[in-house]
């Protein structure tokens, strides 16, 4: 690997030269077009010995090779992070394991983005996606975050490939990318989150994320704390159109729909048009349909039982376009809670990723 990097760095140096006269261009061609053996640049000799690799790194020639932002002069000033490349890498990972759940990591990536952002408390301005605090204990081991180590580990190769992106930007971008890749709306997203160092981390209190066996009051307590209204609450709950519950994680079991890897309004259609009854089992309170294949949490049922929630639930069951629009707005807001974006930076309105 080092020899390969040294070779690429040498080629970069030879093609562009080194300012200040430290290294010459090094190609004194003979009349026949062959390079003179005596004109091999000093850089190549150093690279072969290992010193050239060090020099190349210090000079910035390896920055593009290693995925690092340039550190030398004008190259650093003109460096533009390629977020489309990050998106493509995430997309490549989503269906990389046919044996995982329903053949896609997409729903899991949405859950990671959701849970890293949903810890925000507007009263204390603590929590949220900034800092990527789920890397630390005890948050990493909260019951609500069970199973998310799989998502964090899945994205680690992407982080290594693009070390210039913060974990907090990567996790939220991965969630937005997953939704779009599974047929959902474009999620406005912008970078700017930073990762806390261990000494900066202050543990958050557990209990900031929703508990599926609770009632409408609990749902409002959780979402109002973040700054969402009833319409936004229902729209965000529509993310349950994706994925499934696992008995070894949340204690609940089963998918909400028969298309758990496709983003749609099917969750609301099932909730309003299907018949639900309490599941008879030794697990926590949940509901199932007549087939026993689909499930709803108690918090899901309250979207139908609560009059204020119900009006939006019925609206989204009938109008997928309205759901997509409201979800995109609410989810983008969720991903930005507590993030100290620079003053004057426009609100999240990123263009759609290039094809």
pLDDT in tens, 30-57: 323 333 343 334 333 434 444 444 444 4
Spatial CB neighbours of 257, under 8 Å, sequence gap ≥ 6: 241, 264, 266, 267, 270, 294
> Which domain does 95 fall in, by range?
83-336
Spatial CB neighbours of 307, under 8 Å, sequence gap ≥ 6: none
User: Quick check: is 94 in a domain?
Assistant: yes
Bridge partner list, 277: 288
- What pLDDT score was predicted for residue 21? 34
User: Quick check: is 68 in a domain?
Assistant: no
- What pLDDT score was predicted for residue 44? 39
Q: Are 242 and 110 in contact (CB under 8 A)?
A: yes
- What pLDDT score was predicted for residue 272? 98
Q: What's the average pLDDT block by block, 10 residues per block, for the chain (355 residues)?
A: 42 37 30 36 41 42 44 64 96 94 96 98 96 97 96 98 98 98 97 95 95 96 98 98 95 97 98 97 96 97 98 98 98 97 62 52
Assess whether 115 carries a catalytic annotation. yes
User: Quick check: is 127 in a domain?
Assistant: yes
- What pLDDT score was predicted for residue 69? 56
- Measured distance CA(116)–CA(103) in Å, rounded: 23
| Token pair listed for 1 | 């690997």
- What pLDDT score was predicted for residue 85? 97
Decide: helix, strand or coil at residue 35.
strand
Nearest to 80 by CA among 69, 66, 65, 64: 69
- Measured distance CA(262)–CA(268) in Å, rounded: 14
Decide: helix, strand or coil at residue 342.
coil
From its phi and psi, is residue 229 left (phi > 0), alpha (psi between -120 and 50) or beta? beta
User: Quick check: is 197 in a domain?
Assistant: yes
CATH code for the domain in which residue 251 is found: 1.10.420.10
User: Quick check: is 76 in a domain?
Assistant: no
Chain segment 201-251, per-residue pLDDT in tens: 999 999 999 999 999 999 999 999 999 999 999 999 999 999 999 999 999
Catalytic pick among 114, 142, 171, 256: 256
| Token pair listed for 40 | 């091999």
Angle at the Cα of 79 from the Cα atoms of 73 and 82, rounded to 5 degrees: 165
- What pLDDT score was predicted for residue 45? 43
The secondary element (H helix, E strand) that includes residue 286 is strand 286-288
Helices (H) and strands (E) in the chain, counts: 15, 5
From its phi and psi, is residue 339 left (phi > 0), alpha (psi between -120 and 50) or beta? beta
- What pLDDT score was predicted for residue 228? 98
Assess whether 240 carries a catalytic annotation. no
- What pLDDT score was predicted for residue 346? 55
Q: Output the CA torsion sign for 286, 289, 291, 294.
A: negative
CB atoms inside a 10 Å sphere around CB 36? 11
Catalytic pick among 115, 189, 240, 276: 115
- Measured distance CA(353)–CA(95) in Å, rounded: 19
Q: Are 347 and 245 in contact (CB under 8 A)?
A: no
Number of domains forming the structure of the chain: 1
- What pLDDT score was predicted for residue 108? 98
User: Quick check: is 311 in a domain?
Assistant: yes
User: Quick check: is 297 in a domain?
Assistant: yes
User: Quick check: is 49 in a domain?
Assistant: no
């Amino acid at each position: 690997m080092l020899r390969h990097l040294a070779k690429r760095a040498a080629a970069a140096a030879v093609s562009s030269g080194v300012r200040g006269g430290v290294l010459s261009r090094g190609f004194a061609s003979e009349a026949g077009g062959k390079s003179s053996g005596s004109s091999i640049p000093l850089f190549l000799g150093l690279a072969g010995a290992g010193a050239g690799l060090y020099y190349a790194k210090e000079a910035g020639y390896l920055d593009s090779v290693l995925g690092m932002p340039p550190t030398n002069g004008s190259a650093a000033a003109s460096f533009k992070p390629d977020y489309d490349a990050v998106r493509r890498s995430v997309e490549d990972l989503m269906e990389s394991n046919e044996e995982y759940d329903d053949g896609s990591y997409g729903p899991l990536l949405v859950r990671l983005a959701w849970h890293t952002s949903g810890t925000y408390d507007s009263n204390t301005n603590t929590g949220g996606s900034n800092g990527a605090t789920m890397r630390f204990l005890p948050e990493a081991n909260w019951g609500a975050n069970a199973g998310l180590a799989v998502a964090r580990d899945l994205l680690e190769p992407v982080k290594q490939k693009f070390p210039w992106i913060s974990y907090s930007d990567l996790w939220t971008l991965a969630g937005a990318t997953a939704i779009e890749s599974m047929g959902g709306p474009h999620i406005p997203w912008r970078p700017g989150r930073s990762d806390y160092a261990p000494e900066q981390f202050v543990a958050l209190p557990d209990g900031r994320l929703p508990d599926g066996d609770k009632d409408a009051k609990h749902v409002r307590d959780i979402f109002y704390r973040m700054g969402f209204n009833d319409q936004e609450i229902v729209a965000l709950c529509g993310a349950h159109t994706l994925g499934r519950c696992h008995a070894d994680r949340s204690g609940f079991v089963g998918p909400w729909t028969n298309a758990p890897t496709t983003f749609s309004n099917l969750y609301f259609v099932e909730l309003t048009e299907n018949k639900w009854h309490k599941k008879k089992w030794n697990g926590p309170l949940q509901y199932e349909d007549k087939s026993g294949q689909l499930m709803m949490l108690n918090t899901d049922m309250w979207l139908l039982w609560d009059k204020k929630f119900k009006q939006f639930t019925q609206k989204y069951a009938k109008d997928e376009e309205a759901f997509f629009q409201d979800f995109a707005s609410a989810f983008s807001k969720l991903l930005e809670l507590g993030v100290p974006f620079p003053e004057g930076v426009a609100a999240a309105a990123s263009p759609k990723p290039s094809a």
